[in-house]
Structure 1
Amino acid sequence: MEQKSEFLGKESIGKLLFKLSAPVIVGMLVQALYNVVDTFFVGQVYGADSVQAIGGLSIAFPIQMIIMAFGVVLGTGGSSIISRALGAKELEKAEKTLGNVFSLSLILSIIIAIPYLLFLDTILEIFGATPGIMPYAREYLEYIILGAVFFVFGVAVQNIVRAEGNARLAMNVMLIGAGLNIILDPVFMFGLDMGVKGAAIATVLSQVVSSIWLLQYCLKGKGAVHFKSRYLKPDIKIIKDIGSIGVGSFVMQISSSIMMIFVYNALATYGGDVAVAVFGVIIKVNSFIFLPLLGMSFGLQPIVGYNYGAKQFGRIARAIKLTLMATTAFGTFGLLVIYFFTEQILGLFSADPQYLDVGTHAVKIMLLGMPLVGLNVVSMTVFQALGKARPSFLLSLSRQILFLIPLVVILPGFYELDGVWAAYPISDVLSFLLSGYLLLRIYRIFKEHPGSPGITAAKELAVSRGVESSLDR
Structure 2
Amino acid sequence: MTNKNVTLMRGEPEIAVKKLAIPIMISMILTALYNIIDGIWVAGLGQTAIAGIGFVTPIFMVLNGASVGLGNGATSSISRFIGAKNHEMANESAKHSLFIFLISSVILTVIFLIIQKPLLASYGANGQTLNEAMSYATPLFLGLIAFMFSNGCSGILRGEGDMKRAMYVIIATVILNAILDPLFIYTLGLGSAGASLATIVSSAISALIMLYWILIKKDTYVKVNLKNTKFDSNLTKDILKVGIPSALDMLIMAIAMSIYLIIISQIGGDYGIATFTSGQRLYLFAIMPLTAIGSAVLTVSGTAFGAKNGDYLSRTHKYGAKFGLILGTAITLILVIFSNQLATIFAYTPETASLIPGIASYLQIACLSLIATGIGMPSSFFYQGIGKGLYSLMFTVLREIIFVIILIYLFVYVLNFGLIGIWMGLCIGRAIPSVLNYIFARYEIRRQRKEFGN
User: Residues 13 and 96 from structure 1, CA distance in 2 versus in 1: closer, same or farther, beyond 3 angstroms?
Assistant: closer
Report the TM-score when normalising by structure 1.
0.90
User: Residues 3 and 29 from structure 1, CA distance in 2 versus in 1: closer, same or farther, beyond 3 angstroms?
Assistant: closer
Match of 1:430 among 427, 432, 439: 432
Partner of 2:86: 90
Q: Percent identity?
A: 27
Match of 1:60 among 45, 56, 61: 56
Partner of 1:332: 329
Partner of 2:308: 311
* Contact 2:13–2:316 (8 Å) recurs in 1: yes
Offset of residue 368 of structure 1: 1.7
Offset of residue 315 of structure 1: 2.0
Counterpart Cα distance in 2 of 1:131 and 1:422: 31
Q: Deviations over 1:173-196 (max 9, x none)?
A: 222222211111011122222211
Match of 2:182 among 182, 186, 190: 186
Partner of 1:226: 223
Residue 131 (1) aligns with residue 127 (2): yes
Counterpart Cα distance in 1 of 2:399 and 2:329: 19
Q: Deviations over 1:371-411 (max 9, x none)?
A: 00122211111111111233223123221123223333443
User: Residues 257 and 180 from structure 1, CA distance in 2 versus in 1: closer, same or farther, beyond 3 angstroms?
Assistant: same
Offset of residue 33 of structure 1: 1.5
Match of 1:200 among 196, 199, 213: 196
Classify the secondary structure of the residue corresponding to 2:127: coil
Partner of 1:295: 292
Counterpart Cα distance in 2 of 1:172 and 1:424: 34
Partner of 1:255: 252
Counterpart Cα distance in 1 of 2:195 and 2:426: 29
* Contact 1:251–1:397 (8 Å) recurs in 2: no
Counterpart Cα distance in 2 of 1:168 and 1:29: 14
Structure 1 window deviating more from structure 2 (159-168 vs 89-98): it is 89-98
Partner of 1:371: 371
Q: Deviations over 1:148-168 (max 9, x none)?
A: 111111111111101101011
User: Residues 94 and 343 from structure 1, CA distance in 2 versus in 1: closer, same or farther, beyond 3 angstroms?
Assistant: same
* Contact 1:133–1:273 (8 Å) recurs in 2: no
Offset of residue 328 of structure 1: 0.8
Amino acid at match of 1:262: I
Matched ranges for 1:401-440 at <5 A:
401-414=401-414, 415=416, 416-440=418-442
Matched ranges for 1:134-283 at <5 A:
134-219=130-215, 220-230=217-227, 234-283=231-280
Offset of residue 91 of structure 1: 2.0
Partner of 1:455: none
- What is the alpha-carbon root mean square deviation over aligned residues? 2.0
Amino acid at match of 1:388: K
Offset of residue 428 of structure 1: 1.8
Partner of 1:468: none
* Contact 1:259–1:400 (8 Å) recurs in 2: yes
Amino acid at match of 2:431: V
Matched ranges for 1:451-466 at <5 A:
461-462=452-453
User: Residues 316 and 406 from structure 1, CA distance in 2 versus in 1: closer, same or farther, beyond 3 angstroms?
Assistant: same
* Contact 2:298–2:381 (8 Å) recurs in 1: yes
Counterpart Cα distance in 1 of 2:229 and 2:18: 34
The count of aligned residue pairs is 448
Counterpart Cα distance in 1 of 2:93 and 2:10: 25
User: Residues 118 and 391 from structure 1, CA distance in 2 versus in 1: closer, same or farther, beyond 3 angstroms?
Assistant: closer
Counterpart Cα distance in 2 of 1:385 and 1:231: 29
Structure 1 window deviating more from structure 2 (332-341 vs 10-19): it is 10-19
Match of 1:112 among 108, 115, 118: 108
Q: Deviations over 1:324-362 (max 9, x none)?
A: 111111111111111111111111212434312322222
Counterpart Cα distance in 2 of 1:275 and 1:293: 27
Mark the runs of 5 or more structure 1 residues left unpaired by the alignment: 450-458, 464-473
Amino acid at match of 2:192: V
Match of 1:323 among 320, 324, 337: 320
User: Residues 438 and 27 from structure 1, CA distance in 2 versus in 1: closer, same or farther, beyond 3 angstroms?
Assistant: same
* Contact 2:381–2:392 (8 Å) recurs in 1: yes
Structure 1 window deviating more from structure 2 (389-398 vs 283-292): it is 389-398
* Contact 2:27–2:170 (8 Å) recurs in 1: yes
Classify the secondary structure of the residue corresponding to 1:290: helix
* Contact 2:370–2:431 (8 Å) recurs in 1: no
Q: Deviations over 1:246-286 (max 9, x none)?
A: 23321221111101111111111000101101111111111
* Contact 2:309–2:452 (8 Å) recurs in 1: no
Report the TM-score when normalising by structure 2.
0.93
Counterpart Cα distance in 2 of 1:76 and 1:149: 17
Match of 2:76 among 80, 90, 93: 80
Counterpart Cα distance in 1 of 2:259 and 2:231: 36
Offset of residue 295 of structure 1: 0.4
* Contact 2:14–2:319 (8 Å) recurs in 1: yes
Mark the runs of 5 or more structure 2 residues left unpaired by the alignment: none
* Contact 1:103–1:234 (8 Å) recurs in 2: no
Counterpart Cα distance in 2 of 1:209 and 1:233: 29
Offset of residue 445 of structure 1: 5.3
Amino acid at match of 1:347: T
User: Residues 365 and 232 from structure 1, CA distance in 2 versus in 1: closer, same or farther, beyond 3 angstroms?
Assistant: farther
